[in-house]
Amino acid sequence: MIDFAAARRMMVDGQVRTADVTDPRLIGAMLDLPRERFFPEDKVSLAYLDRDVAVSEIGLPVRRLLKPMVLGKLLQFAEVAETDRVLDVGCATGYSAALLSRLAGSVVGLEEDAILAGQAAEALAEVGAANAKVVTGPLGRGCPGEGPYDLIVLQGSTEVVPAALLGQLKDGGRLVCVLGRGPAAKAMLYRRIGGDLSGRPIFDAAAGLLPGFSQPAEFVF
């Protein structure tokens, strides 16, 4: 029998705090939230590993939860406020949406895989995330009908600057994501100020590519 509470403490102390994540609200939420609840039964033993872990079935586009360190650092740089309305893009089984629900005012988890969306909605209800909801739809389009948003978080990487999502930010809104693939990938923080958008790299990171965020194929003569 796995002692999940002990595993959770080890995850936070050994992976998250050591990556300079110090926000007490974020640390408290990660210590409290049962990450194992967001994994299939045959993968709960992998819930606290220091890596991205697949949560979708073999044969579907493989979807993974971000490793705890990357998610923790993204959310710390995002400076999630208690009044924020957040769009969580690619929420998969809902762990990130549940975590955000403990930091923000309201959360919309966007998921295009109907099976994962159903799992996320069930898990969110079980952990008492009453201020979070799951919407099913293409990830690359975002969810403009529920916006605009103070914060948008991508739960995976994108090969392109997510212009459609940036357009759904409020004035002063932020978007955090992993841009690129391979060793050159960077976690990015984008911010909308008036009509201007700015972006800057915040740390080295890697993540699985989200559906709808691939670089378009170039035409070759």
Assigned architecture for domain 4-204: 3-Layer(aba) Sandwich (3.40)
Return d(Cα 119, Cα 204) in angstroms, integer: 31
Return d(Cα 135, Cα 151) in angstroms, integer: 16
Quick: pLDDT tens for 130-152.
Answer: 999 999 999 999 999 999 999 99
Helix, strand, coil content of the chain in percent (nearest 5): 35, 30, 35
In DSSP terms, 201 is beta-bridged to 188
Three-class SS of residue 4? helix
Q: Which of 123, 92, 97 is nearest to 210 (CA)?
A: 92
pTM: 0.95
Quick: pLDDT tens for 51-82.
Answer: 999 998 755 678 999 999 999 999 999 999 99
Beta strands in 66-148 (DSSP E): 85-89, 106-111, 132-136
Name the residue ranges covered by the structural domains of the chain: 4-204
pLDDT for res 221: 55
Contact 65, 88 (CB under 8 A): no
pLDDT for res 195: 83
